[in-house]
Amino acid sequence: MDKEVAELIRLEAERQRNTLNLIASENHTSRAVREANGSVFTEKYSEGYPGKRYYAGCEIVDQLENHAINLAKKLFDVDYVNLQPYSGSSANLATYAALAGVGGKIMGQALSDGGHLTHGSKASLVSSFFQFKQYGVDQQGWIDYDKLEKLAKKFQPKVIVAGTSAYPRLIDWDRLRQIADQINAYLMADIAHLSGLVAGKAIPSPVGIADVVTSTTQKSIRGPRGGMIMTNNQELAIKIDRAVFPGLQGGPHQHSIAAKAQAFYEALQPEFAAYANQVLSNANTLARSLQDHGVELWSDGTDTHLLVFNSYQAFGLNGLESKDLLAEQGIITSQSQVPNDPLPPMLSSGVRLGTSALSTRGMQEDQMQEIAEVIVRILRDKANLRSEILGMAKQFKLPE
């Protein structure tokens, strides 16, 4: 082995063990998921789809991919699944190409209002490939569906994208379906952050309401880094298959598909539903506890696994400063803009928190109250609480 690589792996494992991960887009996987991801499937090239490969020796990877697809179908109660996208971003790009065509009109939630880069941000190349119009939130931080409807009728997009990266509230899938139907548009749901909560039946599913559902597999679903696309429309399924391969990608990462299968298997077990509900309960407790200390939250709370607090308003610290101060003490977060943010994105006013990873470690409401108090003390008084955080991290171990 390369001793430097080995040492860096050891250091990263130690960092994860000895810190508290509150990044909303991260989680901890089981040893089984990691072993599948590092298996001999990484050595096999398999361009195409099961039964239709361009390489010989794909008999076993065909069985693997079909097995993973069947697990995903059962987990999300859907007719079609494509597990070949390398990431959520590539899953979104392939879906845009299939539904709108290059240059087509798409509406997505603005990054500054809780959306994702791939939902039309000018910083992303998707804004060069398609015509995007952005919708946002009202003064209270909630999606303004009436304004969204007016914008959709005026813009006439081929696709309306719903799904967020920092927005802490549930999305009204039925209302968006009505809007999309009025203008004969496709509704696409990006549940990259929410797929584990949907799989655990802790929140409503957009499957059967949206025309297409995309997701990552590494966040609340506790799988490897990767993407997936789902639909009940067989005509769209054919277009999506072609858009993924050969349109966007070459050979799929079968080692990732093996790890996705393992994660789906775990999510189908009864205890996963309890986990998903604990994630929500922890997020609500963390939100209320921060509010008890006078901290302002985006939309005054959360319905999901994530929340965003206004550090600039509460402590006079921008999001970058707050993120770095917390990280020095062992609390790992990400900065975020808030609605009507007076600061530029590189600084931002907010900090985004998520409870998926800590819930995987077994933390519950008592720990969320303690963490909220610690966050406030660090940012308010710049107190040194590293030993206290380290003690909590050692008490709640990473999954085996």
| Res. 285: pLDDT tops 90 | yes
| Res. 254: pLDDT tops 90 | yes
What are the tens digits of pLDDT across the range 133-142? 999 999 899 9
| The CATH number, out of the four listed (1.10.3720.10, 2.60.40.10, 3.90.1150.10, 3.90.1300.10), of the domain defined by the range 270-395 | 3.90.1150.10
Average pLDDT of the residues of the chain:
96
Question: For 368-378, b where at least 16 C-beta lie within 10 A, e where not — what string?
Answer: bbebbebbbbb
Kindly report, as residue ranges, where domains of CATH 3.90.1150.10 are found in the chain. Answer: 270-395
Question: For 99-131, b where at least 16 C-beta lie within 10 A, e where not — what string?
Answer: bbeeebbbbbbbbbbbbbbbbbbeebebbebbe
- In three-state secondary structure terms, 215 is strand
State what percent of residues in the chain have pLDDT above 70.
100
Instruction: For residue 195, name the pLDDT band (cuts at 50, 70, 90).
Output: very high
- In three-state secondary structure terms, 117 is helix
Q: What is the pLDDT of residue 207?
A: 97
| Res. 190: pLDDT tops 90 | yes
What are the tens digits of pLDDT across the range 224-236? 999 999 999 999 9
**H/E element holding 106?**
strand 105-109
Cβ atoms within 10 Å of 143's Cβ, excluding its own? 24
**H/E element holding 21?**
strand 20-21
Cβ atoms within 10 Å of 64's Cβ, excluding its own? 23
Nearest 5 degrees, angle CA 369-CA 21-CA 386?
70
Instruction: Considering only the C-alpha atoms of the chain, give the largest distance between any 2 of them, rounded to a whole number of Å.
Output: 63
* CA 52 to the chain's CA centroid: 31
| Res. 80: pLDDT tops 90 | yes
Cβ atoms within 10 Å of 152's Cβ, excluding its own? 20
CA nearest 164: which of 221, 207, 127, 121? 121
CA distances from 292 to 252, 280, 288, 297 (A): 48, 18, 6, 11
**H/E element holding 219?**
none
* CA 200 to the chain's CA centroid: 15
| Res. 148: pLDDT tops 90 | yes
Mean pLDDT of 96-102: 96
Beta partners for 230?
81, 213
Q: How far apart are CA 83 and CA 230, in angstroms?
A: 9
CA distances from 356 to 20, 95, 186, 191, 257 (A): 11, 27, 30, 15, 22
Using CB atoms within 10 Å of the CB of residue 356, give its burial: 0 to 12 exposed, 13 to 18 middle, 19+ buried: buried
Given a contact cutoff of 8 angstroms between Cβ atoms, the answer to whether 266 and 222 are in contact is: yes
Given a contact cutoff of 8 angstroms between Cβ atoms, the answer to whether 95 and 123 are in contact is: no
- In three-state secondary structure terms, 99 is helix
Q: How far apart are CA 81 and CA 71, in angstroms?
A: 10
Q: What residues are annotated to the active site?
A: 45, 47, 190, 216, 219, 225
| Res. 247: pLDDT tops 90 | yes
What are the tens digits of pLDDT across the range 14-48? 999 999 999 999 999 999 999 999 999 999 999 99
Q: What is the pLDDT of residue 400?
A: 79
Q: What is the pLDDT of residue 1?
A: 83
Q: What is the pLDDT of residue 220?
A: 97
Strand spans (E) along 138-217: 159-162, 186-190, 212-216
Assign residue 51 a region: left if phi > 0, alpha if psi is -120 to 50, beta otherwise?
left
Q: What is the pLDDT of residue 41?
A: 97
CATH architecture, domain 31-267: 3-Layer(aba) Sandwich (3.40)
Q: What is the pLDDT of residue 181?
A: 98
Q: What is the pLDDT of residue 314?
A: 96
Mean pLDDT of 358-365: 98
Q: Give the position of tokens 């060069």.
A: 128
Instruction: For residue 382, name the pLDDT band (cuts at 50, 70, 90).
Output: confident
Q: What is the pLDDT of residue 272?
A: 98
| Res. 371: pLDDT tops 90 | yes
Kindly report, as residue ranges, where domains of CATH 3.40.640.10 are found in the chain. Answer: 31-267
CA nearest 20: which of 278, 382, 362, 275? 362
Q: What is the pLDDT of residue 47?
A: 97
State the SS3 of 249-298.
Answer: CCCCCHHHHHHHHHHHHHHCCHHHHHHHHHHHHHHHHHHHHHHHCCCCEH
What are the tens digits of pLDDT across the range 102-134? 999 999 999 999 999 899 888 889 989 999 999
Mean pLDDT of 354-371: 98
Q: What is the pLDDT of residue 308?
A: 98
